[in-house]
Structures are given as C-alpha cells and as structure tokens.
Amino acid sequence: SGLLLRSRIGVRFADMEDLPASPSLQPSSQEGHGERTSSDPSAWMPNVLRVPQDCATVEEAIKRAKHGQTVHISAGEHSWNGRIDVDKVMHIEGERDPLNNAPLTVLIGRWKLCAPPPTKWDMNPNVTGTMRDIQCEADGGYCCQITGVHWEMTNARFTCKGGTAVFVRDGTVAFDGCWLGGSKDTRMCNNGLVVCNEARVYLNKTAMRNCKAGIYLRESGVLIMVESELHRVAIAFGCMLPNNCEMEVAKTRMHDVEEVWSENSRPEKLLQQGNYDVYGTPIHLHGDADGSHTFQTQDLMSTAH
C-alpha cells in the first residue's frame, strides 16, 4: 500500500521531472528532518498532536493545538470545506517520500495563517510558525493567506486552480525548497505569490510554476529570491506601487516565461545577479527608466567588492 500511495501522489509532481537540468530545489537544510517519515512521530518529537491518531481531522487538530505545539498529519489526502484559520503559532508537518523528498501528505482546502504578529526583530521558535512536508491544494480564491506573522515553509507545495496560490500581508515569510503556483493538469492560477503592505518574503530554492503572473508586489512589499525557478509563467514580476517596492533576484532560472515585467512597472530598488534561462544564457531583469516611474537599478556583481 505504501508503494501505491507513493505512486499515486508522485503523479502530482511528475511535471517537475520533465525539465532540463536545473539547480537542486531541495531545501537548503534538512536539519530537524531526521526520520520523520515514520508513522509514529511521537518517537522523535514530544508534544505532538497526530492526525488521525489523536485527532480525526486536520480542523480538529488545529483547534486543539496549543501555542508552539506540533501537528503531525499522516500521509494521504485530507480535505475540508472552506478555510482553516490558524490563530496560534504552531508547527504543521506532514510526511515525505524518503526517495525523492516529495510530500506524501496532501491537504485539500484553504488556509489563513493569522496569529498575532511578533516584533520585527523576534525570530525565535516561539513566535515563528512552520509548515513542512505538505502539499496544499485549493480550487480558487487563494490556497494560503498569511497576515502579519512570521512563518517558515520547508518542502511545501501550495497550488491553486485559479486565483492566488499564496497571499502575504505584512509579516515575514520564508520558503525553502517549496513549489508555488498552479497544477499541470488544471488551468493556471492567476498569481503564484502576492506580497502586500510591508511584508517581506524570502524564496530559496523555490519553484514558481504554471502562473499567469508569477510574483506581484503591492504597497511596500519586499521580495528576495535566490537559486529559484520561474517556469510556465506568462508574466514573471509586477508592481502596483513601484516606488515603494524592493526586489532582489539572484541565481534564478527562467524557463517558458513570456514577459519579465507587467507593463512598465518596476520596483524602486531592484538588485540582480546571475539569473539565466534554460540554456544558461544570462538574463538581465532591468532596463531603462520608462518615463512614468523612477527606480534604481543595480547589479549585485558591481557592488560585491
């Protein structure tokens, strides 16, 4: 039964294997993973609520979990109607395939992560929530909305059949070895990632795929994207208020991207280094001032010394 489950869920990620060679999108650190594919997480982590062993559903586990507690969700599909609101800092973890690292825990439904925000300088485990080894899916609207909190996502997938995969307003969110966007066997999502207000989003070894618009910055959003990938994206980047946004993109591969920018919008601060296409040809994201917006362009290579 384990092989059947692995085979069935593996189909969801088949399109990640049909690309030309690219940098590894595995999480940069496996610290804390250990043998977390075990069906009994209590052997390696105390204070865990397990689904379905301790709680019948994901909704029940999230409601019962205390601040800082871990919710471990077993392999397989788990679904709910509407949205689950997470108003406490917690650690939500699934199970992964030990051979290819793909999440075996599939969560069908929408999320809103809305715990009270910590101070801007406080990034200790007690105020930072985590999601790890899960595949989240939604039909429309958004898959995951994050508001005013700190979260770290590792080896997580957020896909949406329409609307926005991930929406971040304020707070700080880091994605490591993740996948955001639409599904290959359904229509593309409208946006892979929307960054609003004073949100700061870090993408490391993360893929943005199957999107009409990859990443959209609003208000004073900040994006830092390193060693990641944009694939099957109509428009890579866009800004609503260019003069207030900041973007840094480095060592990122762009493949099957129709347009780099939405119209003439550019962020005020745009830093880039070592971005390339599927053939390894360097890509420069910025151009000349467009006459409508003022923005600064700077190549990280020229400021490295």
Q: Which residue has the higher pLDDT, 57 or 42?
A: 57
What number of other Cβ atoms are within 10 A of residue 68's Cβ?
A: 15
The residue type of 183 is S
Name the residue with higher pLDDT: 129 or 300: 129
Average pLDDT over residues 65-71: 93
Q: Output 139 or 100, whichever has higher pLDDT.
A: 100
Question: What is the average pLDDT across 109-127?
Answer: 72
Residue pair 138/161 in contact by the 8 Å Cβ criterion: yes
Percent of the chain past pLDDT 70, that is, above it, reads 74
Q: Cβ(249)–Cβ(269) under 8 Å?
A: no
Query: Which structure tokens are listed for 156?
Result: 């997580």
Task: Domain ranges for the chain, please list them.
Answer: 2-29+73-303
Contact 162, 176 (CB under 8 A): no
| Average pLDDT over the chain, rounded to an integer | 81
Three-class secondary structure of residue 135 per DSSP = strand
pLDDT (0 to 100) of residue 120: 58
User: Residues near 38 by Cβ (< 8 Å), separated by ≥ 6?
Assistant: 44
The pLDDT assigned to 30 comes to: 53
pLDDT of 185 > 90? The answer is no
Confidence of residue 121 (pLDDT cuts 50, 70, 90): low
Over residues 232-257, the mean pLDDT reads 89
Candidates 117, 45, 104, 112; CA nearest to 78 is 104
Each residue of 129-179: pLDDT tens digit? 999 999 999 987 899 999 988 899 999 999 998 889 999 998 899 999 999
Separation of alpha carbons 43 and 32, rounded Å: 14
Among 87-91, 147-151, 160-164, 240-244, the range scoring the smallest mean pLDDT is 240-244
- CATH code at 2-29+73-303: 2.160.20
- Residue-wise pLDDT tens digits, 30-43: 544 444 444 454 44
Task: Classify 45 as helix, strand or coil.
Answer: coil
119 pLDDT higher than 80: no
The residue ranking higher by pLDDT, 212 or 269, is 212
| CA atoms lying within 13 Å on the CB side of residue 43 | 8
> Token pair of 263, please?
């119209």
Whether the predicted pLDDT of 75 surpasses 90:
yes
Look at residue 186 and tell me whether its pLDDT is greater than 70.
Answer: no
